């Protein structure tokens, strides 16, 4: 331990502690902008590029950035001197002097860290004027929107993409005044190895990275009398949407979410969870087939489009191991435009399917050729949790006062197994609940597989007994962890029977389209607990017990894994 003094307060800190962390220990707040410490997922952005956290250190001529300066024994620090405060203000003014001042109409208005810090530092005037850098905007992917004019070179996106997700899409490009963070050669994002997980969007402090918005398209469809617009909601929405309206993280708002969609004008409000149950029917069957020698092991879950794009780019030699199942929301789209359309006599070409998702990659996924039916998209638009919240506000709906309403049927019925899809480990747990009963013919008494749960471990392993067989299960969340797992499988260092991979740390609960958590991962953990709570509340907790799903197989699809199921519910991958 070493002794330091901050603003006359003496304290002891472990060696290697930064001034910023030491100050926190005695409740002294040093403002930061580029700094971000997501300890649970091992991401620390310590570029010290914004210089907003400058402090005075006795005996040193220059001010020191608190986020990147380690304490030494006997260090005397002052965080609130006139010189330090003036320097911080100057740094922010310099950033603002090369930043668009369109805050009132900016996507991040009210959520922007630069805006917040300017307000906190009391900046009312920018003393520096001059040329502003302007760059090409990029919405080529239809998923991720890049507006480099708003980049403040904090490099958070770079740290997230390169160190956590290991996709290495971003770096500093160009020189001098033109320097900005972007993909190599400033390629359109669609032409890069970006998986559109949107984790860069989650950590971008400004609106340099956001989602491509489809709010206006959805309004247009809702106001078109010729269209029959239906919504499906992902599992992770119901435990995060409340945050947008001031509710505590982890508040379950399923009923209000349904009511809000009805008031926005959706003809039917359905649940992606229904399709998650369908996914389990198909995936558990595929798993058991592979266990019986029909196909290669391990089987990899395939509902995360970002992870699918990752394996296509990074491990093309392993493309025969992901399950051929489409993701649940794509299955839903195919079911809505066939089974639902025929059953309720609605022309399929009038149906507009809107997916409300925590995810940015889903916006890209719906455009994939492999997932279209005769060239037609099965899902028409994806809006994120944040976009959905905007629509609710635009419509003047008082969300917290809404009554709790139920989903429409038949595509609104779901089990607890489908709800936990939204968190890391949930998809494989849901698959195990069904595969166990189908493979053994026995009733599974305890449906909770705690070995595959949890946020802290990026790579989890569990063993599940299936009669006289020991199933080895692997779970990875975050693409860096997925990479480690896949390298070991490719090199024959690890063996599993089944693996779940979700691109976002924690799974969809921390998707790139969720309400901003501003670096507080406790919010993500609260969402996770809420999903498990929702599972416990459900009367049915195994996908193969969903009566609406069973009826659909009986009336329309026929055999699980059969010809029609393959046509509607399965896909293939592209190296």
Q: Are strands 75-78 and 64-65 parallel, antiparallel or unpaired?
A: unpaired
Binding-site ranges for ligand SF4 (CB under 6 A): 197, 304, 306-307, 358-359, 361-362, 502-504, 507-508, 511
Residue placing its CB nearer to ligand HC1 in the complex, 164 or 236: 236
Active site residue 70: no
Residue placing its CB nearer to ligand HC1 in the complex, 154 or 304: 304
Pick one of ligand SF4, ligand HC1, none as the site partner of residue 205 (Cβ within 5 to 8 A by kind): none
Active site residue 93: no
Pick one of ligand HC1, ligand SF4, none as the site partner of residue 436 (Cβ within 5 to 8 A by kind): none
DSSP for 222-268, written as a single string: HT-TT-EEEEEE-GGGTTTGGGGGTPPTT---HHHHHHHHHHHT-SE
Catalytic residue, from 283, 387, 413, 534: name it.
283
Residue placing its CB nearer to ligand HC1 in the complex, 338 or 385: 385
**Residue 328 exposed, middle or buried by CB count within 10 Å (0-12, 13-18, 19+):** buried
Catalytic residue, from 508, 525, 534, 542: name it.
508
Catalytic residue, from 323, 355, 418, 543: name it.
323
By the 8 A CB rule, do 1 and 14 touch?
A: yes
Binding-site ranges for ligand HC1 (CB under 6 A): 234-236, 272-273, 276, 303-304, 327-329, 357-359, 362, 421-422, 507-508, 511
At 471 the three-state DSSP class reads strand
CA 342 to chain centre: 34
Residue placing its CB nearer to ligand SF4 in the complex, 63 or 143: 143
Residue of this chain nearest to ligand SF4 (CB atom)? 511
Catalytic residue, from 108, 256, 362, 363: name it.
362
**Beta bridge mates, 534:** none
Pick one of ligand HC1, ligand SF4, none as the site partner of residue 276 (Cβ within 5 to 8 A by kind): ligand HC1
Active site residue 365: yes
At 43 the three-state DSSP class reads strand
Structural element, H or E, at residue 472: strand 469-477
Closest distance of CB 238 from ligand HC1, Å: 9
**Residue 461 exposed, middle or buried by CB count within 10 Å (0-12, 13-18, 19+):** middle
> Looking at beta carbons, which pairs linking 440-448 to residues 24 or more positions away fall under 8 Å?
440/466, 440/467, 444/542, 447/416, 447/417, 447/541, 447/542
Active site residue 370: yes
Pick one of ligand SF4, ligand HC1, none as the site partner of residue 272 (Cβ within 5 to 8 A by kind): ligand HC1
> Measured between alpha carbons, how far is 216 from 211 in angstroms, rounded to an integer?
14
Residue placing its CB nearer to ligand HC1 in the complex, 77 or 304: 304
Closest distance of CB 357 from ligand SF4, Å: 7
Edge-first strand listing for the sheet containing 498-502: 299-300, 498-502, 469-477, 459-466
Q: Tell me the two tokens of residue 133.
A: 């850098």
Residue placing its CB nearer to ligand SF4 in the complex, 197 or 485: 197
Sorted by sequence, the CB contacts under 8 Å of residue 487 that are 6+ apart come out as 493
Active site residue 286: yes
> Measured between alpha carbons, how far is 137 from 130 in angstroms, rounded to an integer?
21
Closest distance of CB 531 from ligand HC1, Å: 9
Pick one of ligand SF4, ligand HC1, none as the site partner of residue 328 (Cβ within 5 to 8 A by kind): ligand HC1
Closest distance of CB 139 from ligand SF4, Å: 18
Residue placing its CB nearer to ligand SF4 in the complex, 268 or 362: 362
Closest distance of CB 366 from ligand HC1, Å: 11
Residue placing its CB nearer to ligand HC1 in the complex, 162 or 367: 367
Residue of this chain nearest to ligand HC1 (CB atom)? 508
> Measured between alpha carbons, how far is 437 from 92 in angstroms, rounded to an integer?
60
Closest distance of CB 196 from ligand SF4, Å: 7
Locate tokens 């409740």: which residue? 27
Q: Which of 335, 481, 357, 483 is nearest to 422 (CA)?
A: 357
**Beta bridge mates, 461:** 474
Closest distance of CB 26 from ligand HC1, Å: 40
Pick one of ligand SF4, ligand HC1, none as the site partner of residue 329 (Cβ within 5 to 8 A by kind): ligand HC1
| Rg, C-alpha atoms of the chain | 25
Active site residue 508: yes
CA 201 to chain centre: 9
> Measured between alpha carbons, how far is 434 from 442 in angstroms, rounded to an integer?
11
Locate tokens 């969300």: which residue? 399
Structural element, H or E, at residue 461: strand 459-466
Catalytic residue, from 15, 370, 522, 559: name it.
370
Catalytic residue, from 34, 71, 197, 303: name it.
303
Pick one of ligand HC1, ligand SF4, none as the site partner of residue 197 (Cβ within 5 to 8 A by kind): ligand SF4
CA dihedral 38, 44, 48, 54 (to 10 degrees): 50
554 secondary structure, DSSP code: I
Catalytic residue, from 158, 211, 365, 429: name it.
365
Residue placing its CB nearer to ligand SF4 in the complex, 308 or 336: 308
Closest distance of CB 298 from ligand SF4, Å: 19
Closest distance of CB 278 from ligand HC1, Å: 10
Pick one of ligand HC1, ligand SF4, none as the site partner of residue 235 (Cβ within 5 to 8 A by kind): ligand HC1
Residue placing its CB nearer to ligand HC1 in the complex, 242 or 507: 507
Structural element, H or E, at residue 275: helix 272-291
> Measured between alpha carbons, how far is 52 from 200 in angstroms, rounded to an integer?
21
Closest distance of CB 160 from ligand SF4, Å: 13
The residues annotated as belonging to the active site are 283, 286, 303, 323, 362, 365, 370, 508
């Amino acid at each position: 331990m070493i002794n330091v003094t901050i603003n006359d307060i003496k304290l002891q800190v472990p060696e290697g502690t930064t001034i910023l962390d030491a100050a926190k220990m005695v409740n002294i707040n040093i403002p930061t902008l580029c700094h971000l410490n997501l300890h649970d997922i091992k991401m620390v952005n310590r570029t010290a590029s914004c210089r907003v956290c400058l402090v005075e250190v006795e005996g040193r001529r220059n001010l020191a950035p608190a986020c990147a300066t380690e304490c030494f024994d006997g260090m005397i620090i002052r965080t609130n001197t006139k010189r330090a405060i003036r320097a911080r203000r100057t740094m922010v003014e310099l950033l603002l002097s090369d930043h668009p001042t369109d805050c009132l109409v900016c996507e991040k208005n009210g959520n922007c860290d630069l805006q917040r810090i300017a307000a906190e530092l009391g900046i009312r005037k920018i003393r520096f004027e001059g040329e502003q850098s302007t760059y090409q905007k990029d919405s080529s992917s239809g998923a991720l929107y890049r507006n480099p004019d708003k980049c403040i070179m904090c490099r958070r996106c770079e740290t997230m993409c390169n160190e956590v997700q290991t996709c290495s899409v971003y770096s500093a490009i160009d020189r001098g005044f033109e320097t900005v963070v972007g993909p190599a050669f400033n390629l359109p994002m669609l032409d890069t190895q970006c998986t559109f997980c949107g984790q860069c969007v989650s950590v971008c402090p400004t609106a340099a990275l956001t989602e491509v918005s489809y709010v206006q398209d959805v309004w247009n469809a809702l106001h078109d009398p010729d269209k029959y617009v239906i919504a499906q909601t992902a599992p992770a929405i119901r435990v995060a949407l409340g945050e947008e309206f001031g509710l505590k993280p982890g508040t379950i708002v399923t009923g209000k979410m349904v009511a809000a969609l009805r008031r926005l004008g959706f003809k039917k409000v359905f649940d992606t969870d229904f399709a998650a149950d369908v996914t389990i029917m198909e995936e558990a069957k595929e798993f058991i087939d592979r266990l019986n020698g029909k196909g290669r092991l391990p089987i990899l879950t395939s509902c995360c489009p970002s992870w699918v794009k990752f394996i296509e780019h990074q491990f093309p030699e392993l493309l025969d191991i992901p399950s051929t199942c489409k993701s649940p929301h794509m299955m839903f789209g195919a079911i809505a435009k066939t089974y639902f359309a025929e059953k309720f006599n609605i022309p399929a070409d009038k149906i507009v399917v809107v997916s409300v998702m925590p995810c940015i990659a889903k916006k890209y996924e719906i455009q994939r050729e492999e997932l279209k039916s005769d060239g037609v998209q099965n899902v028409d638009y994806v809006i994120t949790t944040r976009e959905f919240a905007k629509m609710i506000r635009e419509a003047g709906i008082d969300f917290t006062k809404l009554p709790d309403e139920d989903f429409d049927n038949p595509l609104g019925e779901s089990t607890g197994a489908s709800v936990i899809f939204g968190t890391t480990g949930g998809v494989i747990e849901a698959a195990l609940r069904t595969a166990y009963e189908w493979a053994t013919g026995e009733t599974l008494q305890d449906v909770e597989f705690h070995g595959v749960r949890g946020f802290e471990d990026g790579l989890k392993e569990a063993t599940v007994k299936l009669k006289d067989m020991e199933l080895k299960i692997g779970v990875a969340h975050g693409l860096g962890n997925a990479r480690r797992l896949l390298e070991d499988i490719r090199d024959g260092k690890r063996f599993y029977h089944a693996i779940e991979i979700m691109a976002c740390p924690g799974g969809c609960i921390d998707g790139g389209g969720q309400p901003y958590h501003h670096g507080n991962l406790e919010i993500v953990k609260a969402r996770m607990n809420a999903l498990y709570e929702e599972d416990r509340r459900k009367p049915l907790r195994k996908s193969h017990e969903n009566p609406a799903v069973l009826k659909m197989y009986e009336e329309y699809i026929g055999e699980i894994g059969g010809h029609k199921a393959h046509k509607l519910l399965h896909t293939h991958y592209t190296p």
